[in-house]
Amino acid sequence: MSAPLRRAEAGLARLHQLSNGVRVICDPVPGLETLALSVVAGRGARSEDAERSGWSHLLEHMVFKGAGERSAKDIVEVIEADGGQINAATGYERTSFQVRALAGGLDLGARVLADLVQRPTLEAEDLAREKQVVGQEIAEAADTPDDIVFEMAQAAAFGDHPLGRSILGTEASIATATPKTLGDWRAALYAPDSLVVAASGAVDEDELLAIAERDFGAAAGQGAPEPPPAEFAGGISAEAKRLEQANLVFLLPSVGVTHEDYFALRLFAEILGGGMASRLFQEAREKRGLAYAVDAYAETYAETGVLGVFAGCAAGDAAELAKVAAGQIMALAERVEPAELARAKAQLKAGLFMARESPLARAEQAAGQVLLFGRMLTPQEIAEDIDRVEAADLARIGAGVLAPGRAAVSVLGPKPALKAAESFQRALFG
């Protein structure tokens, strides 16, 4: 049976744990007529070795081909017949299966998701077809410049580490999967030690706990080995291609999501290029007209992360845009204006509280927090952490991203744009 672990300090959400290690989160939201149910495994593409690259994503596809007593058609029809929606997503550190439903849809949603996670049929004929589908997805990504340029940057940043490989894998790596080996991978990837069942919206705690015990209380399996620590390698990946625009990504090493400076990194990225009032948007687009699209972001994993800048621009402007991006990073590392910091904090908190209005976002966020921290964080706790960030913390982030003297740069576009890689490196590090 389950045991309560923690009640969120300022809310109704509660965390329980089943005897087999599966954790259950109940987050009722009064007044809603819908609910969201997420079954989240705290493993993903980062757990793969090179030979199994892409298997987590392939498995996510395959469980929808048939599970329990339901065919692929039955899985979606039974959910949609009740007004619900079903989806899934594979990331580097997490795999998530989700159902949105009307009030009263918890029982059916849990039965279907439990079958997907624990009892997929994994038929050989389905696997052969799905390998073709994923192969088309890989080809489509390769034909999409603003997809492939991020994969190039990821590879430049993390090299042979799993974080440096595409979540989709390669046609060669997914070709080796068989129903047996994929089934073994399922047992490791979705093992109960990293499984979280989270429900938010029109849900009742007693009903959820009974359903979770029924559908996930017998889940078994030995988890995949812990992935190796990631180290930022850095380097340049540049490819000349006949395109209308140059696509640029600049990455610098930074902290992970569990680090005390996590929110300082998020705020640094927000001020640098998080919106129309950001430094990059104002300088590169509004003042100089160098790019239509330019933004900065923080991509974080458990123990590491990156500060990133993406831009799409004319090939002839790429080198100059790279200098501007480098200059703005260095300037922000030196000084932040109080009004900028206040605005960034307001934006970050607004995003947090707006997401709280979606049951699915609440369920996914709570599951992620439990997987990372072993508990749920209240919105007030997060807001207080954001408010505590000072200018000195941003200066520390700026010094940290520049100190190693390494960047990962990817450029995809007409040949003149390739100069942007060296331009960025030289402007930052001489």
Question: Per-residue pLDDT for 34 more than 60?
Answer: yes
pLDDT for 7: 41
For 48, 75, 192, the CA distances from 114, given in Å and listed in that order, are 23, 12, 12
Q: What is the largest CA-CA distance in the chain?
A: 65
Classify the C-alpha dihedral 58-64-70-73 as positive or negative: negative
Q: Which of 72, 68, 60, 73 is nearest to 174 (CA)?
A: 60
What's the whole-number mean pLDDT along residues 37-41?
A: 98
Residue 76, burial from CB neighbour count under 10 angstroms (0-12, 13-18, 19+): middle
pLDDT in tens, 288-339: 999 999 999 999 999 999 999 999 999 999 999 999 999 999 999 999 999 9
- Closest among 246, 217, 281, 286 to 23, alpha carbons compared: 217
- Indicate if 77 belongs to the active site: no
Question: Average pLDDT, whole number, for the chain?
Answer: 95
Per-residue pLDDT at 337: 97
The answer regarding whether domain 235-429 maps to CATH 3.20.20.70 reads no
> Is pLDDT at 283 greater than 60 in this prediction?
yes
Question: What is the pLDDT confidence band of residue 142, given thresholds at 50, 70 and 90?
Answer: confident
Compute the Cα dihedral for 413, 417, 419, 425 and give only its sign: negative
**pLDDT (0 to 100) of residue 384:** 97
- Asked if residue 8 has pLDDT above 70, the reply is no
Which of 33, 48, 60, 390 is catalytic? The answer is 60
Whether the per-residue pLDDT at 137 is higher than 90: the answer is yes
Percent of the chain at pLDDT exceeding 90: 94
| Residue boundaries of the structural domains of the chain | 3-216, 235-429
What is the three-state SS of the chain?
CCEEEEECCCCCCEEEECCCCCEEEEEECCCCCEEEEEEEECCCHHHCCHHHCCHHHHHHHHHHHEECCEEHHHHHHHHHCCCCEEEEEECCCCEEEEEEEECCCHHHHHHHHHHHHHCECCCHHHHHHHHHHHHHHHHHHHCCHHHHHHHHHHHHHHCCCHHHCCCCCCHHHHHCCCHHHHHHHHHHHCCHHHEEEEEEECCCHHHHHHHHHHHHCCCCCCCCCCCCCCCCCCEEEEEECCCCCEEEEEEEEECCCCCCCHHHHHHHHHHHHCCCCCHHHHHHHHHCCCEEEEEEEEEECCCCEEEEEEEEECHHHHHHHHHHHHHHHHHHHHCCCHHHHHHHHHHHHHHHHHHCCCHHHHHHHHHHHHHHHCCCCCHHHHHHHHHCCCHHHHHHHHHHHHCCCCCEEEEEECHHHHHHHHHHHHHHHC
pLDDT confidence of residue 224: 87
Q: How far apart are CA 314 and CA 247, in angstroms?
A: 9
Average pLDDT over residues 243-259: 96
Section 355-384 average pLDDT: 96
Q: Is the pLDDT of residue 139 over 90?
A: yes
pLDDT exceeds 60 at position 4: no
The answer to whether 3-216 and 235-429 have equal CATH topology is yes
The predicted pLDDT at position 349 comes to 97
pLDDT at site 1: 41
* Phi, psi dihedrals of residue 289, rounded to the nearest 5°: 65, 30
374 Cβ contact partners less than 8 Å away, ≥ 6 residues apart: none
What pLDDT does 408 receive? 98
pLDDT in tens, 165-218: 999 999 999 999 999 999 999 999 999 999 999 999 999 999 999 999 999 999
Q: What is the pLDDT of residue 2?
A: 47
Three-state secondary structure readout of 188-251: HHCCHHHEEEEEEECCCHHHHHHHHHHHHCCCCCCCCCCCCCCCCCCEEEEEECCCCCEEEEEE
CATH number (3.40.50.1820, 3.50.50.60, 3.30.830.10, 3.90.1640.30) of 3-216 reads: 3.30.830.10
Q: Is the pLDDT of residue 14 over 70?
A: yes
- Please report which confidence band the pLDDT of residue 133 belongs to, taking 50, 70 and 90 as the band edges: very high
